Amino acid sequence: MSKILIRGAKVLGGEPQDVLVDGETIAEVGTGLGAEGAQVIEADGKILLPGLVDLHTHLREPGREDSETVLTGTRAAASGGYTAVFAMANTFPVADTAGVVEQVWRLGKEHGYCDVQPIGAVTVGLEGKQLSELGAMHDSAAGVTVFSDDGKCVDDAVIMRRALEYVKAFGGVVAQHAQEPRLTEGAQMNEGVVSAELGLGGWPAVAEESVIARDVLLAEHVGSRVHICHLSTAGSVEIVRWAKSRGIDVTAEVTPHHLLLTDELVRSYNPVYKVNPPLRTERDVLALREALADGTIDIVATDHAPHPHEDKDCEWAAAAMGMVGLETALSVVQHTMVETGLLDWAGVAERMSFKPARIGSLAGHGRPIAPGEPANLTLVDSAYRGVVDPAGFASRSRNTPYEGRELPGRVTHTFLRGRATVVDGKLA
């Protein structure tokens, strides 16, 4: 078995320590550990985090391999410091059967860059009418526990109620894409001052907030837990805060882009800023950061949404919604949360590894950096400053809103069960 000694790493941002990895597990954590028979990595004060876990990734395979595949998506994930990603169900065909989720799961295992945990569709074809065979997907080799129609909202209150109830039988959770469909017909961007000037169809905050309010009340009524995808408004934060204070079993995620970018960027009409839910206002951004810091929002999830160049190199209305995010997420979180003093690195580990793994009931990930635990680790050079250049992305797609922007931090090493997937910032 191969041994690796990571020397002088600030574990969760604490005092420098040595971490000895033996085979697939962490053997020892301490100071002055011996290096006999081990390959030594001089961490030199870099930050050591548990391997990151993304609860919200679009890998596009099967069906849209022109934008991403399980291979390219997991390579992008490893580059960004992730050791596990949850793959959303809106593929072609939709991941609404045991067959499709097992295919995605197997592809992830074969490639070996990052564990892929498929998410199952709540309803057949994401159509919101009939429940998918949720139990069959859970019982499959893929062992699905998270269900979502993401991209579409489960807007029928009865279907949502039944889904919340049904998955209790096997400890599942429904992740809701909160978007009232009638209020967002023709929606192109956040409804407000900027949409009024630009003449683009508005996506009002209330279309998200009203669904979240309904769903936390449904979860309370039937005694289920519910997860809210990509919270984007200050009002949504207030509702989730209220629900948690009432003891409702709700968790919520925020994307990196909603922590940093605002709808002012849409003035460029550059579709790289087109995303769903849309970029909101400065006030929303600040509320989301605060909520992530105080735990109202539990986790950061990327909503990594690759699109081919031609789907963004066009007029705004014709463009696809979504941004890639796996390779920049940690940098954006460092920039918006750590360097603003809102979170320390232990807080980042909680929100980008421990908690997402718990929400998704994912064994072997989001574990403490301690002897006997799986060696899923991410080493971060937090002192690094660099300009984002999508040409260097491992993702097949380049639709990043950060091109040309300086962001801090760089993942230098990623280990998946003791095996390096990234070494010195390059894919192994």
Interface contacts to another protein, rule CB under 8 A: 188, 191-202, 204, 268-270, 310, 313-318
What is the CB-side half-sphere exposure of residue 216 using CA atoms within 13 A? 24
399 annotated as a binding-site residue: no
58 annotated as a binding-site residue: yes
Structure tokens at 412: 């230098």
DSSP assignment of 315-368: -GGGSPP-B--TTTHHHHHIIIIITTTS--HHHHHIIIIIHHHHHTT-TTSS--
Please give the single-letter amino acid code of residue 117: Q
CB nearer to another protein: pick between 81 and 202: 202
CB nearer to another protein: pick between 141 and 196: 196
260 annotated as a binding-site residue: no
Cα 116 to Cα 111: distance, rounded to the nearest angstrom: 10
Q: Shortest Cβ distance from residue 267 to another protein (Å)?
A: 9
User: How big is the chain by its Cα radius of gyration, in Å?
Assistant: 20
Cα 67 to Cα 279: distance, rounded to the nearest angstrom: 22
Q: Shortest Cβ distance from residue 273 to another protein (Å)?
A: 11
Q: Shortest Cβ distance from residue 193 to another protein (Å)?
A: 4
CB nearer to another protein: pick between 141 and 193: 193
257 annotated as a binding-site residue: no
Q: Which residues pair with 48 in a beta bridge?
A: 11, 379
303 annotated as a binding-site residue: yes
CB nearer to another protein: pick between 276 and 302: 276
Using alpha carbons, list the distances in angstroms from residue 424 to 13, 137, 338, 401: 19, 38, 23, 25
The answer to whether residue 303 is catalytic is: yes
Phi, psi values for residue 19, rounded to 5°: -125, 120
Q: Which of 96, 155, 298, 303 is catalytic?
A: 303
Q: Which helix (H) or strand (E) holds 138?
A: helix 134-139
335 annotated as a binding-site residue: no
CB nearer to another protein: pick between 274 and 355: 274
Q: Shortest Cβ distance from residue 201 to another protein (Å)?
A: 8
CB nearer to another protein: pick between 274 and 365: 274
Q: Shortest Cβ distance from residue 196 to another protein (Å)?
A: 3
Nearest of 4, 2, 1 to residue 414 by alpha carbon? 4
Q: Shortest Cβ distance from residue 207 to another protein (Å)?
A: 12
- By the 10 Å C-beta count (0-12 exposed, 13-18 middle, 19+ buried), 246 is classed as exposed
Q: Shortest Cβ distance from residue 189 to another protein (Å)?
A: 10
Cα 40 to Cα 38: distance, rounded to the nearest angstrom: 6
CB nearer to another protein: pick between 208 and 381: 208
The string over 166-180, giving b where at least 16 C-beta atoms fall within 10 Å of a residue's C-beta and e elsewhere, is bbeeeebbbbbbbbb
59 annotated as a binding-site residue: yes
90 annotated as a binding-site residue: yes
The count of other CB atoms within 10 Å of the CB of residue 391 is 6
Using alpha carbons, list the distances in angstroms from residue 64 to 67, 70, 91, 197, 273: 6, 11, 7, 35, 21
Q: Shortest Cβ distance from residue 288 to another protein (Å)?
A: 20
Q: Are 91 and 62 in contact (CB under 8 A)?
A: yes
CB nearer to another protein: pick between 198 and 293: 198
DSSP-assigned letter for residue 188: -
230 annotated as a binding-site residue: yes
276 annotated as a binding-site residue: yes
Cα 114 to Cα 415: distance, rounded to the nearest angstrom: 9
Q: Which helix (H) or strand (E) holds 3?
A: strand 3-11
Q: Are 41 and 6 in contact (CB under 8 A)?
A: yes
Indicate which residues carry an active-site annotation: 303
* Known binding positions: 56, 58-60, 90, 150, 177, 230, 276, 303, 307
* Known binding positions for substrate: 58-60, 90, 276, 307
* Known binding positions for Zn(2+): 56, 58, 150, 177, 230, 303
